[in-house]
Amino acid sequence: MLLKQNNEYIHSIQNYVQAFEKNSFRHIASNDFLKWPDPLEETWRLSRLGKLTRKKIEPIYSDFKKNIHIKAKIKNAICLSFVDGAYREDLSDELPVGISLHQLSEKECLSFLSKIKKTNLANHPSANSSLSCTPSIIKINVDPYFSPNRLIEIIYSGGMDNKSVHPVLYIELKKSSNLSIVERFNHSGTLIMPLQLIEIGELASLKSVKIFDDNKTTYNLSAHSVILSDKSNYNSFSLIKGSEFTRSETHAEFKGEHATMNLNGVYISGGDQHHDLTTAIYHDFPNCTSKQIVRGVLGGKSTGVFQGKVRVAPGAQKTDGQQMSKAILISDKASANAKPELEIYADDVVCAHGATVGELDDDQLFYLNSRGISMDKAREILIIAFLEDIITQSVDGSLRDFIFNEAKIGLLSILE
């Protein structure tokens, strides 16, 4: 039974690509999507897709021009809207000169495909299925030396029951440019499989915030690949709170020296939710720095997973890789899994990771309680403090309040 329906989804994708030429990028991508990840496969052991693969799902291939509109939430942001995985110009704001957006041509799609195949996302189910049936691959390009004074807000919405959607985005920052983006996942269908490739040029800097806040029954399998050049900077923060099942997988590669990266994240899980933050940082060049802080709050019967790998290649001397993950369990049915991983092949490096899982500190609770604050309120205060710390570190000024507020809403919903 399991196998049969499993294949149905994959077969429907393979039938769809039959309409395209044998050497089209869709066709080639679909050749590598023959099965769902094996539940025993090391990186999928803690996040099993069994329930999803038993569902009868079909992809949404093209743009239905559905008339929905999720409003931009961030003041003064340039809003770009994706509905059912398709870019909707009619719902998006105009981009300033210096940033361009276009659909990749078949030829460009092929080169995009070969880029993805060179990353560690090559076998990710989202990479192969999304490339097979995305409505179109959208590229955002930032010109050299350009720094927009407004941030870009990207909204993913739409979706239907028993349908999957496949937005594919390619962001390129040219030399010495700057960009700040906020992505909001507000999907309401069964499955969303976003695929993203980000290339950050020399001396360029990208600030990226992702808010995963999909519908309560949605599966979100995000796959991101980030490539950093010399002296570039990538500053990323993810907040995972919605959905039934979210796995955000990011592979970041240093392809130049003296680049820096922050890859922080928070997950707030309650009910039957399953949240998985999987990251891999590849230090292939010397003198790069990566820092990672992950916090999780788990209530209800939820499960949280953090898998973070730091790989230092031979010769990548003077690497500094730091990783810290903390999870707090606030219910006795919740569980937390952590697998921080160091793989080091160079000797002149400083790498460390730390991981803790536990409950709120009794002494701190008592301190607040003895000052007349109810236990519930004390708990709330401590958890908010636990998250505030990392949000303050990860997000800049005006955006900070917005993110903090989003986190608080998530938190209150699991504390009830």
Partner 1 sequence: MVATTETIEHVKEVSGTYKYGFITDLESEKAPLGLSEDIVRFISKKKKEPEWMLEWRLKAYKKWLSMKEPDWAMVNYPKIDFQSIYFYSAPKSKPKLNSLDEVDPELLKTYEKLGIPIKEQEMLAGVAVDYVFDSVSVATTFRDKLAKEGIIFCPISDAIHSHPDLVKKYIGSVIPVDDNYYAALNSAVFTDGSFVYIPKGVKCPMELSTYFRINEQNSGQFERTLIIVEDDSYVSYLEGCTAPQRDENQLHAAVVELIAMDNAQIKYSTVQNWYPGDENGKGGIYNFVTKRGNCLGNSSKISWTQVETGSAITWKYPSCILRGDNSVGEFYSVAIANNAQQADTGTKMIHIGKGTKSTIISKGISAGKAQNTYRGQVQIQKSAKGARNFTQCDSLLIGDKCGAHTIPYINQHNPTARVEHEATTSKISEDQLFYCLQRGLDTEQATSLIVNGFCKEVMKELPMEFAVEAQKLIGISLEGSVG
Give the binding site for partner 1 (CB under 8 A). 42, 314-315, 317, 327, 329-332, 334-359
- Output the smallest distance, CB 34 to partner 1, in A: 21
Pick from 49, 122, 38, 6: nearest CA to 276: 49
CB of 347 to partner 1, least distance (A): 4
Nearer CB in complex with partner 1: 73/339? 339
Adjacent-strand bridge partners of 325: 294, 355
Q: How far is the CB of 343 from partner 1 (least distance, A)?
A: 5
Query: Is the CB of 188 or the CB of 331 nearer to partner 1?
Result: 331
95: left (phi over 0), alpha (psi -120 to 50) or beta: beta
Tell me if 19 sits within 8 A of 67, measured CB to CB: no
SS3 51: helix
Is the Cβ–Cβ distance between 197 and 171 less than 8 Å?
A: yes
Q: Are strands 99-103 and 137-142 parallel, antiparallel or unpaired?
A: antiparallel
For the bound state, the minimum distance from the C-beta of residue 30 to partner 1, rounded and expressed in Å, comes to 28
Q: How far is the CB of 337 from partner 1 (least distance, A)?
A: 5
Report how far residue 284's alpha carbon sits from residue 184's, in angstroms, rounded to the nearest whole number. Answer: 31
Q: Which is nearer to partner 1, 281 or 338 (CB)?
A: 338
CA torsion through residues 81, 83, 88, 90, sign: negative
Q: How far is CA 238 from CA 60, 181, 215, 322, in A?
A: 26, 12, 17, 18
Q: Which is nearer to partner 1, 148 or 271 (CB)?
A: 271
User: Residue 352 or 409: which CB sits closer to partner 1?
Assistant: 352
Distances (CA, A) of 62 to 22, 130, 154, 205, 267: 20, 12, 19, 33, 32
Judged by beta carbon, residue 173 or residue 383, the one nearer partner 1 is 383
Taking the complex as a whole, how short is the minimal distance between the CB of residue 39 and partner 1, in angstroms? 14
CB atoms within 10 A of CB 231: 18
Q: Minimum Å distance from CB 377 to partner 1?
A: 19
Tokens, residue 69:
């509109």
Nearer to partner 1, 70 or 351 (CB): 351
